[in-house]
Amino acid sequence: MNKFIINNKTYNSRLIVGTGKYKDFKETKLAIEASGAEMVTVAIRRMNLGQKQDSPNLLEFIDPEKYTILPNTAGCYTAADAIRTCNIAAEILNGEKLVKLEVLGDEKTLYPNTVETLKAAEILVKDGFKVMVYTTDDPLIAKELESIGCVSVMPLASPIGSGLGLQNKYNILSIVENANVPIIVDAGVGTASDASIIMELGCDGVLMNTAIACAKNPILMASAMRKAVEAGYEAFSAGRIPKKRYASASSPIEDNICNDE
């Protein structure tokens, strides 16, 4: 089986998880541990400068020494905003330049704005960022983002937080077949089988947040997702049987005592 390498680092887990929408930091930490993920996404926002200044920082719970922190540009609708956010993220993370670029089109669908995404990717790559890029499931755009120099291309399964699962498996298959960088399906997973289906196509990994954080039991779902990603990847590596319309007996046809001819 192939190694899962992002930005020259090898990961044992092919599951990348988000840290949003959890009840509290404790639940976030427990869910990440149960997921087995080694890379976690975070958002970049104004610090809450309220009364309680001793309130904990997310990165005190999710130790950057232990996990690869992948800052995102969620909420950015232009290339300029996404680039500004990436520069701030690098300052927060002491110069680390691995980022998840996402430039969104509109609030209702949170669909990627590929025009702005391409512009931002080009500038960020030139500025030395290692860009993992959220995009549509368009094979041509995916290839273009790879050509620009993104370290991973991350097409959606379906809209962010929708839980609709993989909606266009043949596009994802085309993207995977043409890729020379890891393809990580990002967004849209609802339950464990969605993650398995994605991995069975030959994708290199899956990124999810809502499916775990908003499950009734996030920690149990995190564990399910860990197994689903592993199972899907092992099944892909093992090579599935071809589909046939009619049956093929699993037990010997010959020497059946009930059917002597």
Tell me if 210 contacts another protein by CB under 8 A: yes
Residue 48 CB, shortest distance to another protein, in Å, is 8
Of 67 and 174, the one with the shorter C-beta distance to another protein is 67
Of 87 and 171, the one with the shorter C-beta distance to another protein is 87
Residue 46 CB, shortest distance to another protein, in Å, is 5
**How far is residue 172's CA from residue 155's CA, in Å, rounded to a whole number?**
8
**How far is residue 53's CA from residue 238's CA, in Å, rounded to a whole number?**
52
Tell me if 157 contacts another protein by CB under 8 A: no
Catalytic residue among 52, 100, 119, 126: 100
Catalytic site includes residue 100: yes
Tell me if 57 contacts another protein by CB under 8 A: yes
Q: Give 139-175 as a DSSP string.
A: HHHHHHHHHHT-SEEEE-SSSTT-----S-HHHHHHH
**How far is residue 59's CA from residue 6's CA, in Å, rounded to a whole number?**
21
Tell me if 258 contacts another protein by CB under 8 A: no
Query: Which residue in 89, 131, 148, 184 binds another protein (CB under 8 A)?
Result: 89
- Mutual orientation of helices 79-92 and 114-126 as an angle, nearest 10°? 40
Tell me if 219 contacts another protein by CB under 8 A: no
DSSP class of residue 242 equals: P
DSSP class of residue 101 equals: E
Query: Which residue in 29, 84, 169, 227 binds another protein (CB under 8 A)?
Result: 84
Tell me if 68 contacts another protein by CB under 8 A: no
Q: Which residues contact 185 (CB under 8 A, 6 or more apart)?
A: 154, 155, 156, 157, 166, 172, 198, 203, 205, 206, 207
Tell me if 49 contacts another protein by CB under 8 A: yes
3-state secondary structure of 86: helix
Query: Which residue in 2, 3, 54, 128 binds another protein (CB under 8 A)?
Result: 54
Residue 39 CB, shortest distance to another protein, in Å, is 13
Helix ranges restricted to H, 47-168: 58-61, 79-92, 114-126, 139-148
Which residues lie near another protein (CB under 8 A)? 18-22, 28, 41-47, 49, 53-54, 57-59, 64, 69, 71-72, 74, 84, 87-89, 91-93, 160-161, 187, 207-210
